[in-house]
Structure 1
Amino acid sequence: MSDRDPEIAVDWQTRRREMARNGLRRMVELVAAKETDRAAGPLPLHKGVYIDEERFEAERQKLFLAQPVVAGLSGDILEPGDLLVFDAAGPSILVQRGKDGIVRAFRNMCTHRGAKLVEENEPWSGHRSRITCPFHAWTFDSAGKLIGQPSKTSFEGCEIGARNLLEIPCTEHLGLIFVRAGGGDPIDAAAHLGGFADLLSALELHRARPVKKGVLTADSNWKFALDTYSEGYHFSALHNTTIGQTHYNDVASVDRYGRHHRIGFPDNSIGKLIGTPEAEWPETDYGGVHFLFPNTVIFFGSIEPGKFFTQVFRLFPDGVGKTRCQFAVYAPFGVESEAQRAMCEMAYDGTAMVVQTEDYRVASAGYANLLAAPDDFHVILGSNESAVQSVQIHIAEAIGMPIN
């Protein structure tokens, strides 16, 4: 059994409805109290947290190379022979589903003279039953074995099995494909997710199918751009023509699962439920923003009842002051119609425009200001920005450097 298609006797739709109702209760409480989930107090962060080169190098080594990082979803490489390029974490990596259904990851490097086997860049994906090097036509199967070697007699005495592709740790769990880009120990995805796995299971990510992908960029440190995904304090000011009109500003429920978290942002309909008996509340769809440490944000929700989409943001550093976000929209339970595909494409286009022109615009300008700010300047995260605080604290712990 592949856990991209778990045979688990659970009615996930009912489970999501239960989760939605529990979340709704919490939203009503917060809106009625005119409150938000809070940290103990404000957290000042020295500007070096975002601009220091030594800190950035520690993050590159200890997070993006050493931690399990999401390379894609199971639906990105659904069939044997399907493969994708994952190069945003640093080294170029090929992730391919073998004939046996197992997903493996390899250096995107021919073992002859190091040529790049697949020359496209992320978010490229495709299908190749065998991979042939464009330099000298050495050929490898979907399990990484060298199966073709022109002028084989020229390499007598060189064991062909020693020239298989260089495999790196990779695993598939709950519809997510994790890779440890720097190599090392096998990945224990269940341990990495901890209690967050129960929540992610209900999203049925193994059923999600890609609709549209692209790259968003910011002239900003990756953490500075990531901060905007974990608070709704900016909705009314920055997104005053979009989510600022449909959702409450500065109100969020935050559920923490170790280094991961889930955030719910209440929409304006919540106010109508205050004082109304729960028995009279309507059924609502589950939705939320799910953060997977260290750099992945998954939004699961709907723009109207019963019409869901899944958005995945994976933020990577392109140097200390540059961010590349691999952004993708999926049909959560498969593409059911052309109308649904069009809806998902619209969700991609609308979200990409807002994130690029609003969130990443202010992140880029703010980062430029940090570079020029006095040496003792600190940004300040309010108690109402509790999830942002958690992310920064956990990153600092993971790299073994103080938060200030």
Structure 2
Amino acid sequence: MGYQERVEKLGEVAEIMRGYVETKSTHQTDKTLEVPASSYVDPVQFNRELELIFNKLPLMLAFTCELPDPGDYKAMDAVGKPVLIVRGKDGQVRAFLNVCSHRGAPVAEQGHGNCPRFICKYHAWSFGQDGRLIGIAEGRSFGDVDKSERGLKQLPCEERSGMIFVSLDPEAKIDLDGYFRGYLGDFEDLGIKDWHYLGSRTIHGANWKIAYDGYLEGYHFQSLHPETIFPRTPSNTMHYEGFGPSMRIGFPQHEIASLLNEVPREEWGKRENFGYDFVRILFPNVSVFVAPEITQVAQLFPGPTPDQNRTVLNYLTREAPKNDEEREKAEGMMNFFRDVTYEEDYVIGLEIQKGLASGAHENIIFGKNERGNQFFHEWVNWYLAEDPDAPEPVM
């Protein structure tokens, strides 16, 4: 699907959402779905989710604009594994386990930086941007080492549409086209690869699926966000589209009709943020909300125990701040988005965790209007079943 076809598709979605607001309706499926409460607390299921989902599938771990220049790197923890992402002299992005092949110490401190080589602070073994072992301190006294066998452990990595995807399984194969099924065209159209990375904030919450469920519906907007989201966006008014296990969720604004009427019908697909908004979900753990002033990209990392998650909230803008005043404004917006996400969504998630752990109810239930949550849990169960011949969930 090319750019013009994508614009036409978004225009069709805009028209559907305009209808939802006019008729006070929403996207619905034909049934409700019950999910065992134990799935949010069970350590056995939690470990299977780590093994079969987070350690196998491509995870969006960084942005092109975080590592724009040769030598740029990002060192981070991803689901308990130390990961190092590097842009080499050849411009290519590679990913490694951030673990020295001598005694297992990290070769780069967590965070961002730029350097020609990575030197382990424990014994000063050095590695190139391509992961090769290039130097052994006091090599004559150390003994014979085949450097070609002692490089950093490389991870499958691919850079597409302004994002960097990594699999935590060194033996995995990444097929982004097969996995996202055309969805990355959305991000290509947005031009994220040329945006500016402002920074991040980290928050902690309940089980990763409890936290993620909150990103997947707007049924709660009026009751939970009466002063922040609801003034812009009606409650319980969503449109869902599936792209493999990922999805695009449309949220019309109260004033969608008048805002769309400002432009011809063929331009409706270009009116994101001016009549409607999207939350773009990259399965299994990323939520992208593009606002006019700033974009928040949430990365949810499970653990270390089933009742916890660590969420990194990344912030991007189309252009870098031009002066101190703009930088200060951007910092304020980052803090505002962080505070709303934590105080209004994650705090109740922690309460939900206690409720589910209490055993009060055997199951929770997702309504016909909460199709995004249903779809997400159907895909989680599909991966946990380990049956490639089983039919995939469809939106």
Provide TM-score, normalisation by structure 1: 0.87
- Is structure 2 residue 66 aligned with structure 1 residue 81? no
1:6 alignment partner in structure 2: none
- Equivalent positions of 1:250-289 (< 5 A) are 250-270=236-256, 272=258, 284-285=271-272, 287-289=277-279
- Is structure 2 residue 96 aligned with structure 1 residue 109? no
Q: CA deviation at 1:42?
A: 1.1
- Is structure 2 residue 50 aligned with structure 1 residue 60? yes
SS in 1 for 2:291: strand
Contact 1:43-1:380 within 8 A present in 2 as well: yes
- Aligned CA distance change for structure 1 residues 157 and 81 (closer, same or farther; 3 Å): same
- Equivalent positions of 1:117-132 (< 5 A) are 117-120=107-110, 124-132=111-119
2:289 alignment partner in structure 1: 299
Amino acid at match of 1:323: N
Contact 2:8-2:266 within 8 A present in 1 as well: no
Contact 1:17-1:285 within 8 A present in 2 as well: no
Measured on the aligned residues, the alpha-carbon RMSD in Å equals: 2.5
1:321 alignment partner in structure 2: 307
Contact 1:43-1:382 within 8 A present in 2 as well: yes
Give deviations 1:338-372, integer Å, cap 9, x for gaps.
Answer: 36544543332111101111100111001111101
1:228 pairs with one of 214, 217, 229: 214
- Aligned CA distance change for structure 1 residues 126 and 281 (closer, same or farther; 3 Å): closer
1:170 alignment partner in structure 2: 157
- Unmatched segments (≥5 aa) in structure 2: 388-395
Give deviations 1:355-404, integer Å, cap 9, x for gaps.
Answer: 11110011100111110124x521111111110110111011112189xx
Larger mean CA deviation between 194-203 and 253-262 belongs to: 194-203
SS in 2 for 1:246: coil
1:142 pairs with one of 111, 129, 148: 129
Q: CA separation in 1, counterparts of 2:164 and 2:143?
A: 38
Contact 1:131-1:139 within 8 A present in 2 as well: yes
- Aligned CA distance change for structure 1 residues 190 and 75 (closer, same or farther; 3 Å): same
- Aligned CA distance change for structure 1 residues 324 and 150 (closer, same or farther; 3 Å): same
Q: CA separation in 2, counterparts of 1:242 and 1:91?
A: 36
- Is structure 2 residue 364 aligned with structure 1 residue 391? no
- Aligned CA distance change for structure 1 residues 273 and 309 (closer, same or farther; 3 Å): closer
2:24 alignment partner in structure 1: 34
2:190 alignment partner in structure 1: 203
Give deviations 1:254-273, integer Å, cap 9, x for gaps.
Answer: 12112111111111212547
Q: CA deviation at 1:277?
A: 10
- Unmatched segments (≥5 aa) in structure 1: 1-9, 303-307
- Equivalent positions of 1:235-254 (< 5 A) are 235-254=221-240
Q: CA deviation at 1:83?
A: 0.6
Amino acid at match of 1:366: I
1:3 alignment partner in structure 2: none
2:145 alignment partner in structure 1: 158
Q: CA separation in 2, counterparts of 1:291 and 1:401?
A: 23
Larger mean CA deviation between 344-353 and 265-274 belongs to: 265-274
Q: CA separation in 1, counterparts of 2:118 and 2:299?
A: 27
Q: CA separation in 2, counterparts of 1:401 and 1:317?
A: 20
Amino acid at match of 1:235: F
Q: CA deviation at 1:213?
A: 0.5
SS in 2 for 1:87: strand
Give deviations 1:196-227, integer Å, cap 9, x for gaps.
Answer: 12223212221122112021111x11001100
- Is structure 2 residue 180 aligned with structure 1 residue 193? yes
Contact 1:65-1:183 within 8 A present in 2 as well: no
Amino acid at match of 1:108: N
Contact 2:289-2:296 within 8 A present in 1 as well: yes
SS in 1 for 2:313: strand
Q: CA separation in 2, counterparts of 1:346 and 1:161?
A: 48
Q: CA separation in 1, counterparts of 2:383 and 2:278?
A: 25
Aligned length: 380
Amino acid at match of 2:372: A
- Aligned CA distance change for structure 1 residues 279 and 378 (closer, same or farther; 3 Å): closer
Q: CA separation in 2, counterparts of 1:401 and 1:45?
A: 19
Amino acid at match of 2:147: I
1:100 pairs with one of 90, 93, 97: 90
Q: CA separation in 1, counterparts of 2:326 and 2:8?
A: 25
Contact 2:86-2:94 within 8 A present in 1 as well: yes
SS in 1 for 2:235: coil
1:310 alignment partner in structure 2: 295
Amino acid at match of 2:345: D
Contact 1:213-1:329 within 8 A present in 2 as well: yes
- Aligned CA distance change for structure 1 residues 280 and 176 (closer, same or farther; 3 Å): closer
Q: CA separation in 1, counterparts of 2:262 and 2:210?
A: 40
- Aligned CA distance change for structure 1 residues 401 and 361 (closer, same or farther; 3 Å): farther
Q: CA deviation at 1:289?
A: 0.6
- Equivalent positions of 1:42-53 (< 5 A) are 42-53=32-43
Q: CA separation in 1, counterparts of 2:67 and 2:39?
A: 36
- Aligned CA distance change for structure 1 residues 185 and 88 (closer, same or farther; 3 Å): closer
1:382 alignment partner in structure 2: 367
Percent identity among equivalent residues?
Answer: 29
SS in 1 for 2:174: coil
